[in-house]
Structure 1
Amino acid sequence: MGIFQSFQPLLQSETHEKNPPAKQRSRLSPRQASKIKQRDVSAQKRVIAAQQRKKTALVYEMHRTIFQHFPHLLDWMRQVDDRRKKASDYELAAHLTACLALFLFKSESRNQYNHYRGDAQFAENYQRLFGFAMPHGDSVHNVMAQFNEDQIEHLKHQMVQVLLRRKTFHGSRYRGKWFLVAVDASGVGSYAHQRDAQCLHRTSKTGKITYFHTVLEARLVTAGGFSVSIASQWIENPEGTDYDKQDCERKAFTRLATKLKQIYPRLPIMILADGLYPYEGFFNTCKANGWAYCVTFKDGNLPSVWEEVRSLMPLQGANTHQEIRHQPSGATTQQAFRWVEGVDYQGHTLQWLECRETFTPKATADNTSAPSSKITHFVHLTDLPVNWRNIAATSHSGRLRWKIENEGFNTLKNQDYGMKHQYARKSYRALKNYFQFMQMAHLIHQLMTLTTRFKESFLSGQNHPTLKNLWRDLIAAMQWGELDTQELEHVAGTCAQFRFST
């Protein structure tokens, strides 16, 4: 039986003769009672052994994910320009692998990583997994502080490009063409003092100054749950120079767009963004790069556009569409769409679309009280043609922007990656490099956990564990189990299908 097949219950119901009730056991001879006790103990041992194998299977699955998707990852690490100032007992790839492992095992801190390193069984299994001994966390940190972040981010770009060449995300393209790329900024750390020259700062009404670091992310998102970092741009004040105004998200987007076009020059992209982005510069950038867009449009944004939408709406009264979906729980979701075409803004032709969604929960069994409905309102602007056939898909695609916040930033902050933890208290360069390795580990975890195989083997059935509990099991397997080298080689060398929900 393969290690990733579903684990069947090992304790089958015994017949009345083989396993009599407790009252009847008192009438058994000592020899008969001993045999029954031995069977019970053996059954318990089989259950414990099966549970241990299932925990170890998590490690093998992670190993399979890494080496089947990125068989040249260690070679890429060896190609990074070695800028270490002192000789080391470890090759550079060992330090880079260790930084990736810091987040693969969700250590949450360098101190926890060192704790794992001090565990003899964990360290032995680590060497079998990656082919390197575990360097000390301080040594890893020194390496992170010496390397330019562009070198480290390039590793992430290589991983994403492999997945694009393999058409991993092609089934999730909008209208069979556009890859959905959500853009948003998030804080990485907040400090009471000026941590470094690049810190942004804000002053409260009471005069208190808070310093912080923020990064602007472009993440490829899919309805199936992927939120993959494909490019990062730090929002930062220039080092060693005077500036009239602080850096901001809009300025950083211009730099991010340049980076995206350089890395993925032919990738058809549809930008998803929040209400900060409907402005002329954004539209010009997307048009120059050949990108489509669907952005949140709030009241007060671009008053001239709102004025034209209201004037055109009576003339396009037929542009409406409704859909009703019945949920398995008995609830219903009713969506009422309307749209306005041909809105002109500074030479750009825009389509305005609105969705009013009414969610009605299932009625109570006695029908004594009517269920209260929840109404949600969404408005977007897009440059792509809209009609009754694609209005629902267009609105849904625009709403996928929230995945950069939920599956992206929220996951990294609250599911043991430690996005806001100070892995580097002094070195701004190291902080950036840790962030990139965090994105790489998050990508590997998504490729691992979003497969149908993983869901069927580990996340199915009643009372199935959460991902957080599964990672605890994975760490337990590293600390108490013993990985088989031949099995690891077999797992890495045997092709397996990775089927994802789209």
Structure 2
Amino acid sequence: MSYPTVTAAALTAPLTFAGIVEQLRDTFRAFPDCRKPGNNTRYTLEDTGLSAFSVFFMQCASFLEYQRRMVENQERSNAQTLFGVHAIPCDNQIRHLLDSVPPSAVAPAYRYLFNGLQQNGYLDKWRVHDYGYLLALDGTQHFSSSHIHCEQCLTKTHHNGTVTYSHQVLTPILTAPDKPQVIPLPPEFISRQDGQTKQDCEINAAKRWLAQWGADYIPLGITFLGDDLYCHQPFCQAVLDAGAQFIFNCKPTSHTTLYEELEGLEKIGAIRTHLVQRRMGKHSVTDTYRFATQMPLRDGDDALRVNWFSLTSVRDDGKCLYHKDFATSHPITTGKVVDLVKAGRCRWKIENENNNTLKTKGYHFEHNFGHGQQHLANLLAALVLLAYLVHTVIDLMDERFRTLLQKMGSRERLFDDINTLTTFLCFKSWTALLDFMLVGLERRHQADEIEQWVVK
């Protein structure tokens, strides 16, 4: 299968941190303003949005507080020089001004960043032969409370009558085998929809995402990945109708008709098998790939036909190391089953490399930075996700940042050092900050060199 490529003539100017900040300014400037005409508008929406974003980008809840002190002492701050914030609102003002902004208002920033990566060739290595881009779907919770709630909250009533309020979000990513990074895509929030009395759910959010964003990504060639929740005919058919393909986990407990058919094939030896032997330390491991074609996804004459395959890895001492079943719309042969499993297994990265990173690696995704009464909780979560995407973008495009990240070992540790520096020194630009750190690591900085990067 062939997919469209970008010619050299179509390439845009290289992505830069300054260019990203300018695009964010344009995006935040278009936020709806809850203030009535004539009210005090000392703080603009773009300054408010950039201020909130800077907290998540810097992975420091106190970043704005430190920059306000710097303004008092030096009349300038890193909020201004790095993020272009002219006047820093207080935390309560930020929450008030952003509460009425739906998270969908951040969409232009996602489009800008993805288009920049795509058109400048950064995503070429994410394309998987025969399968295009692998787009994984998964939902995760980013807020839970028994007291704080808003109209957007999901609710769960327990046996004792108490209620838990929560916010959840669908967090799509692009992933690829052997790639350490994932590319976050626009989120879709799982929250009560206008005019609906029923609770929202992850699969409905996925359908909305497909309807809203499918036209942006599917023409590039997309294979959707997901757990068993997605491996049901309505969503699989929606993916196919949109022009994409899928590889979904497939469980026997939720696909009785399919596994009854497999049981019949098993009895007559009609399930194809491919064995691979490999070494793992002192042990040998046998990978058993099994597959069958044109299996019914559900009961009935209108059942969608899919291709089923599985991998079971067993060590020579009898211990089962791995087992997973999949269903796909892609053709399957003995020569393709290994690559199909490799692609399908990339789904775990949305949990480990994306959702787990957001919750445990400095992004504080589940922290309540402010809940509000309308959209605040979801908008702030969208800004956290956007900060994570920008980190990934500069990791791909900026060799200085990548070098520092390699030396520090993690983004969390790198930003700890960045926050220490920006608490006391005002840097002329993001590039100047990185140069200062690189020279410092090489232990050859002198007092006169510091003047190149620090605002006096």
2:418 matched residue in structure 1: 474
1:338 matched residue in structure 2: 290
Shift of 1:303: 0.8
Map 1:348-497 onto structure 2 (within 5 A).
348-358=304-314, 373-449=319-395, 453=399, 457-458=403-404, 465-484=409-428, 488=432
Question: Match for 1:442: what amino acid?
Answer: Y
2:217 matched residue in structure 1: 264
Shift of 1:142: 2.5
Question: Match for 2:292: what amino acid?
Answer: V
> Paired residue for 1:285, among 238, 260, 264?
238
- Alignment TM-score, normalising by the size of structure 1: 0.73
SS class of match (1:214) = strand
- Alignment TM-score, normalising by the size of structure 2: 0.79
Q: 1:485 to 1:147 in 2, by over 3 A?
A: closer
> Paired residue for 2:188, among 226, 233, 238?
233
User: Is the CA contact (8 Å cut-off) linking 2:271 and 2:291 kept in structure 1?
Assistant: no
Are positions 1:195 and 2:149 aligned together?
Answer: yes
Q: 1:476 to 1:332 in 2, by over 3 A?
A: farther
User: Is the CA contact (8 Å cut-off) linking 1:117 and 1:136 kept in structure 2?
Assistant: no
Are positions 1:181 and 2:135 aligned together?
Answer: yes
Q: 1:246 to 1:147 in 2, by over 3 A?
A: closer
CA distance in 2, matches of 1:177, 1:351: 15
CA distance in 1, matches of 2:359, 2:93: 25
SS class of match (2:228) = coil
User: Is the CA contact (8 Å cut-off) linking 1:322 and 1:335 kept in structure 2?
Assistant: yes
Answer with 69-78 or 262-271: which moved more. 69-78
Deviations 1:91-125 (A, max 9, x none): 43222221221111112x4xx23432334189623
User: Is the CA contact (8 Å cut-off) linking 1:188 and 1:213 kept in structure 2?
Assistant: yes
User: Is the CA contact (8 Å cut-off) linking 1:335 and 1:357 kept in structure 2?
Assistant: yes
Larger Rg, first or second structure (1 or 2):
1
SS class of match (1:276) = helix
SS class of match (2:253) = coil
1:132 matched residue in structure 2: 85
CA distance in 2, matches of 1:359, 1:215: 38
CA distance in 2, matches of 1:460, 1:247: 41
1:95 matched residue in structure 2: 48
Question: Match for 1:438: what amino acid?
Answer: V
RMSD: 3.2
Shift of 1:342: 1.8
Q: 1:388 to 1:486 in 2, by over 3 A?
A: closer
CA distance in 2, matches of 1:455, 1:375: 37
Shift of 1:151: 1.6
User: Is the CA contact (8 Å cut-off) linking 2:32 and 2:100 kept in structure 1?
Assistant: no
Q: 1:488 to 1:351 in 2, by over 3 A?
A: same
CA distance in 2, matches of 1:423, 1:284: 39
Answer with 345-354 or 446-455: which moved more. 446-455
SS class of match (1:264) = helix
1:80 matched residue in structure 2: 30
> Paired residue for 1:273, among 204, 207, 226?
226
CA distance in 2, matches of 1:460, 1:156: 26
CA distance in 1, matches of 2:162, 2:83: 47
Question: Match for 1:83: what amino acid?
Answer: D
- Gaps (5+ residues) in structure 1? 1-63, 361-370, 492-502
| Matched residue count | 410
Question: Match for 1:429: what amino acid?
Answer: H
Question: Match for 1:164: what amino acid?
Answer: Q
User: Is the CA contact (8 Å cut-off) linking 2:169 and 2:190 kept in structure 1?
Assistant: yes
SS class of match (2:224) = strand
Shift of 1:155: 2.1
2:11 matched residue in structure 1: none
CA distance in 2, matches of 1:349, 1:475: 54
Percent of paired sites with the same residue: 20
Q: 1:421 to 1:351 in 2, by over 3 A?
A: same
Deviations 1:118-147 (A, max 9, x none): 341896233222333333333322231132
SS class of match (1:88) = coil
User: Is the CA contact (8 Å cut-off) linking 2:27 and 2:108 kept in structure 1?
Assistant: no
Q: Which has the higher contact order (CA 8 A, sep 6+)?
A: 1
User: Is the CA contact (8 Å cut-off) linking 1:102 and 1:113 kept in structure 2?
Assistant: yes
Shift of 1:482: 4.6
Q: Provide runs of 4+ in structure 1 moved above 6 Å.
A: none
Shift of 1:194: 6.2
Question: Match for 2:95: what amino acid?
Answer: H
1:37 matched residue in structure 2: none
Deviations 1:147-176 (A, max 9, x none): 232222332233223222333223222325
Deviations 1:294-319 (A, max 9, x none): 11111211211111122234556572
Q: 1:294 to 1:423 in 2, by over 3 A?
A: same
CA distance in 1, matches of 2:166, 2:32: 30
Shift of 1:70: 3.5
